[in-house]
Amino acid sequence: MFRILCILLLVSTLSSPASAYPSVDPVQGLIYSLFHHRDEKMARKYIAPGVHIPEIREETPISGAATLSSPRKNMRVVVARYRDSKQLERTAFIWELAVKDDKITKIRVVHDGAVPLMNEGYAVQKFEKAYPQYKDKVLVPADFPFSVTHVQGKASNHLVLQYSNRKNKLRLTIVPQASLSKGDILLQQGVTASYHTRCLTFHKDGLQYTLSGLPKEELIMIAKSMLPKP
């Protein structure tokens, strides 16, 4: 008798429709996909076709995200937090999501707390780890002729930093290399630069800096801002 009951229970379970199982909440699915796995393809399963996923412009790890109800019908709010290397937390962003039929149909950015220049710091740290002799010697721009909205960095046997917005792009390449010759552009007492093929190059403390992507006058201004005050 017990064996018969077990068989009947197994048949009933296997024949139950898929709707009998609880579906994944689309907002929680989005959070899990984007923030835990950084997998946009996985996140797309919870989003209606054509819905744009806002860009996360900072590489600082997201330590957590809370979902809140909204006074607006069928709306949810996601508040995400950054946690930096010093374990300090701050708001990463606030998104308002419209949900219908188990799909996210709209994502509106209420607040974007990204600090793109943080990406510069991560790239410099990685470069200095590979070349400890240059620790605290790497120079980066202090002034820009445009508002920087995005920063990308890549460090290997050299360091490449790219600063940009929708209309402008500045590229900075830093290579361990001693100065071979003096340039004809004076940046600071004892520091000169050369300008060739739309690139401005100078040397400081065993590192070669090459700036490109902007007019010559703006590259010179940026280079001067990189140097410590005499």
Q: Is 156 helix (H, G, I), strand (E, B) or coil?
A: coil
Does the structure show a pLDDT above 80 at 106?
A: yes
pLDDT bin (cut points 50, 70, 90) of residue 23 is: low
The rounded percent of the chain whose pLDDT value lies above 90 is 71
Domain positions in the chain are 23-112, 117-226
Does the structure show a pLDDT above 90 at 221?
A: yes
Q: Rounded to two decimals, what is the model's pTM?
A: 0.79
pLDDT score for 16: 37
Q: Is 44 helix (H, G, I), strand (E, B) or coil?
A: helix
Q: Please give the order of strands across the beta sheet that includes 150-155.
A: 150-155, 159-164, 169-176, 207-212, 199-204, 191-196, 185-188
* Domain topology for 23-112: Nuclear Transport Factor 2; Chain: A, (3.10.450)
Q: Quick check: do 23-112 and 117-226 share a fold?
A: no
Q: Which whole number is the average pLDDT over 106-119?
A: 95
pLDDT bin (cut points 50, 70, 90) of residue 6 is: very low
The token duo for 154 is 């890549």
pLDDT bin (cut points 50, 70, 90) of residue 8 is: very low
Domain formed by 117-226, architecture: 2-Layer Sandwich (3.30)
Q: Which whole number is the average pLDDT over 62-87?
A: 88
pLDDT digits (tens, 9 = 90+) for 24-43: 799 999 999 988 888 999 99
pLDDT score for 210: 97
